[in-house]
Structure 1
């Protein structure tokens, strides 16, 4: 058991890279340290403890993690440096060799940070202490807010899919989840704190239930009954796990928003097979059509990877034409990155960096066209917007149920409040609609 007296008068700084799941987990680490008496540093202060929660989804992500570690070491001289997350899990020796790092925690040990902190003594010589890199079995509950209005509730972790390009199963382990009863209690706690919107997060949330024998549909049905929460949003969910029953439930639910994020990755069946994805374009298109049949104004965001091994020019054209014909709202475009140890490295055809860039730009332009058309269809309508915190002097923003970003003049007392607005023209950079305040909701 850790002696909490060692944390007296200590201050901590946090750096999180990567997905919403990482942000939720950093928030949980911050709560553990706060309960032990550690304060979060304010701007300009020096930290005694630095926690860097890393990502390793691409080689660029690894580089950003190394830069973040170096920056924290430089900005907080003498601080005890802890590195955890996916980069630490996949390449612990590389992380331990970075000058200034004291402790490297794998995914299984992340929840036991307090035990590993020990005496907070800097290592004068040699590499950092590295926790044993064990198989990952533990589900660590997390729910974060930070300075956001929305909360992020971790409902699931890990993945059993082993897509050919991905290292996530090695970085986060096999699929596992919390119990519905516990997650519902966390949602009640958010409501008690005044939170009104929760985003359900995980690595493969549609696979919910592997460790408890429950289902994702049962989870959303249970959360929908929690009083005080006004809105839920479902983060990325695999198309083959987004059942028609889930779609139908969201369409008639009290609190789940008409907002979906579905990874496509490629619009070409041959490439989907090379990726070892568990669906084809026909299934994906049917899911989009089903959503729109129930919720014509639903926001649908889609992930796409360009330039993966095996994606010939013809295959990319198939992807472009398929996406062009989909009734979706926005694309999240990623350039393929080689990851050591993945099966994709056995595929011969390699796309050049120049072609990856060209393909990315084409899809991003298509995304802009679709998002603009979606926003413009709603100009002149009234909508309910949950306003988010804004800095003094800056315009406020919030989101409609179907995730249209709306900007308003900054008015006191609107933070974390539902307001009715009339949707006006798009702002100059095309990222939001200007709103006219009609009034707060009771």
Structure 2
């Protein structure tokens, strides 16, 4: 018999016996990954357990993404799949919780929208599910199988990019207190997470309204004995301040890798996007990074087919990307996101032309990645050994461990007597666009 689900007003079914099973699915960015672990922790703290494969669940949560129209489509698809599992309670959390995308589900899932007060709304929804109230602050259930952990330090953004819906979904920038951030970092390190990735919706805005900056958390974080590495996630070019670059230049635990979104190499397109810099200013930011740290890895995002982008504009993007020598590029064809300024812009680029430009830029990205990786052949690098493998996924050679170099290059390493979580010195034997293979020194 089909079970009735989604009814948040009734206590959980007792048919399961013992601890009630739950399932959490997550889509989207690193911040969403952190928040999904908070959801798992909140459910575990109320006495529930994570469901096994194929097991029926008392509570199912989809923590969703709505940054693009495609993300909303994937959220709708994932929600339908989760509903087919017939959980007793179905919650839709995160950025897509405010979207009108679930009319075919009866009744509608309980919604927990992102933005200010998200955590409190989550607890209220769990209270309404009859799961019992727990004392204490937020609990996060990180995956002990992962050597790398994301550490959310802030939420929200007010940069106002024309294509971005995030500020209207998550609100203006809000910092987590430094003490709270560092306490969570110590917990993560204590669980065996050797690399901490500092993340947020707009990481570089941290401390802007409080009279401090990223160093307030980076300095003590890099001094933690159990933390082998600290990595920054995405920064806006304007956020590469002299004090931050000086700290980066002298702090070995802070990895020589920064994700610096370009979005376009055309000044006209950058102005239409509202990015707040032009091509020359982006080049200057890259030059300052390279002056601060030897051969840093610079990864980036680029949007192609933005309204009004001409062939000449695209050529400037190709030129700037080639000249910068990014170590990795993420290329996104522009798609209309309702509710953004860009959605109202004319002079649309055709889908076929957008796809053509995306293919050309991705080919350049693959070329640049291969060139960046090739320079490490014959050199020693340091790799954080994250997981063991039976054989190389790329087919280049057998490997015992996979991990990341300091410069965020995937490495497959032949090792003997090494341990997961160890930072090993290896010599690179070969490379390709996907990464490098290496042997212990």
Q: Which residue of 1 aligns with 2:161?
A: 163
TM-score, normalization by structure 1: 0.87
Q: Which residue of 2 aligns with 1:98?
A: 105
Q: Which residue of 2 aligns with 1:415?
A: 420
Distance 1:212 1:399, change over 3 A: same
Q: Which residue of 1 aligns with 2:431?
A: 426
Distance 1:366 1:85, change over 3 A: same
1:5-404 matched pairs, under 5 angstroms: 9-74=19-84, 76-89=85-98, 91=99, 93-95=100-102, 98-99=105-106, 101-107=108-114, 108-112=116-120, 113-118=122-127, 120=129, 144-145=142-143, 147-210=145-208, 212-390=210-388, 395=399, 396-404=401-409
Say if 1:144 and 1:153, in contact at 8 Å, map to a contact too. no
Partner SS state of residue 306, structure 2: coil
Using the TM superposition, give the Cα deviation of residue 46 of structure 1 relative to its aligned residue in structure 2, in angstroms. Answer: 1.8
Distance 1:274 1:176, change over 3 A: same
Using the TM superposition, give the Cα deviation of residue 100 of structure 1 relative to its aligned residue in structure 2, in angstroms. Answer: 5.8
For residues 217 and 143 of structure 1, what CA distance do their matches in structure 2 show?
26
Partner SS state of residue 62, structure 1: helix
For residues 199 and 21 of structure 1, what CA distance do their matches in structure 2 show?
11
Partner SS state of residue 371, structure 2: helix
Distance 1:175 1:237, change over 3 A: same
Equivalent residues, number: 415
Q: Which residue of 2 aligns with 1:130?
A: none
Partner SS state of residue 93, structure 2: strand
Say if 1:330 and 1:367, in contact at 8 Å, map to a contact too. yes
Using the TM superposition, give the Cα deviation of residue 161 of structure 1 relative to its aligned residue in structure 2, in angstroms. Answer: 1.3
Q: Which residue of 2 aligns with 1:125?
A: none
Using the TM superposition, give the Cα deviation of residue 140 of structure 1 relative to its aligned residue in structure 2, in angstroms. Answer: 7.8
**Alignment deviations for residues 51-78 of structure 1 (CA, whole Å, 9 cap, x no partner):** 101111111111111110111111x224
**Alignment deviations for residues 306-328 of structure 1 (CA, whole Å, 9 cap, x no partner):** 11111111111111112111132
Say if 2:413 and 2:439, in contact at 8 Å, map to a contact too. yes
**Alignment deviations for residues 212-264 of structure 1 (CA, whole Å, 9 cap, x no partner):** 43212333223222222110110011011111321221121031000010011
Unmatched segments (≥5 aa) in structure 1 = 122-138
Pairwise CA RMSD: 2.5
For residues 267 and 426 of structure 2, what CA distance do their matches in structure 1 show?
43
Unmatched segments (≥5 aa) in structure 2 = 1-8, 131-136, 393-398
**Alignment deviations for residues 162-218 of structure 1 (CA, whole Å, 9 cap, x no partner):** 211110001111011111122122222222222211001111110111454321233
Distance 1:110 1:4, change over 3 A: farther
For residues 26 and 411 of structure 1, what CA distance do their matches in structure 2 show?
36
Say if 1:208 and 1:215, in contact at 8 Å, map to a contact too. yes
Using the TM superposition, give the Cα deviation of residue 299 of structure 1 relative to its aligned residue in structure 2, in angstroms. Answer: 0.6
Using the TM superposition, give the Cα deviation of residue 293 of structure 1 relative to its aligned residue in structure 2, in angstroms. Answer: 2.0
Q: Which residue of 2 aligns with 1:435?
A: 438
Distance 1:68 1:147, change over 3 A: farther
Partner SS state of residue 148, structure 1: coil
Distance 1:392 1:425, change over 3 A: closer
Distance 1:390 1:63, change over 3 A: farther
